[in-house]
Amino acid sequence: MLSKDLIIKATNALIENEIIILPTDTIYGLSAIWNFENEKRINNIKNANEEKPLIVLISNIEQLSILGIEKNEFVDLLFNESTTVIFKTKSNNKTIAVRLIIRDDIKKIIEKTGPIFSTSVNLHGEQPINEKDELINFDRSINVYFDKVITNIKPSKIYNSITNIWVR
């Protein structure tokens, strides 16, 4: 768990529109406030297509409305550990991948900031980074909020609620 001081610093950095590295329930993630510009910024850092959709973390189900998602029968899947669900949004037939965070420290951050992006810390197509020194050296301009090495480096399961298929 992140200390109270690190929670405050990470929250403030996100509110100031910084991209940071945070632990999640699964792996360390490049994180930023949820908006189109930050999605492009993170994808550029990863050398990925700017349009590549990123997973959005929420701290409670009520935040789905911020993302333009109506509650439906697939919302319950978010309560399964490390499960991401792809939903259709109310506008423009767009989709968004959402995961309900379990970690209390990250929940506290998202309660203050609203939904945030979280994607693996790595260049597109490479293995996720987990070691403290590697996280720090990934991009020296990005602050790392480290608490421990995550030994079970498994990405979240992903369910597409539009096609009713498990993607991962």
Quote the CA–CA distance of 113 and 136 in Å, as a whole number: 23
Q: What is the CATH number of the domain that holds 109?
A: 3.90.870.10
How far lies 74's CA from each of 18, 33, 65, 99, in Å? 32, 24, 14, 12
Q: Can you give the length of the chain in residues? A: 168
Residue 57, pLDDT score: 98
33-88 pLDDT tens trace: 999 999 999 999 999 999 999 999 999 999 999 999 998 999 999 999 899 999 99
Whether the predicted pLDDT of 96 surpasses 80? yes
Whether the predicted pLDDT of 30 surpasses 80? yes
Owning domain of residue 156: 4-166
Interval 89-97 mean pLDDT: 87
Residue 7, pLDDT score: 98
How many structural domains comprise the chain?
1
Whether the predicted pLDDT of 13 surpasses 90? yes
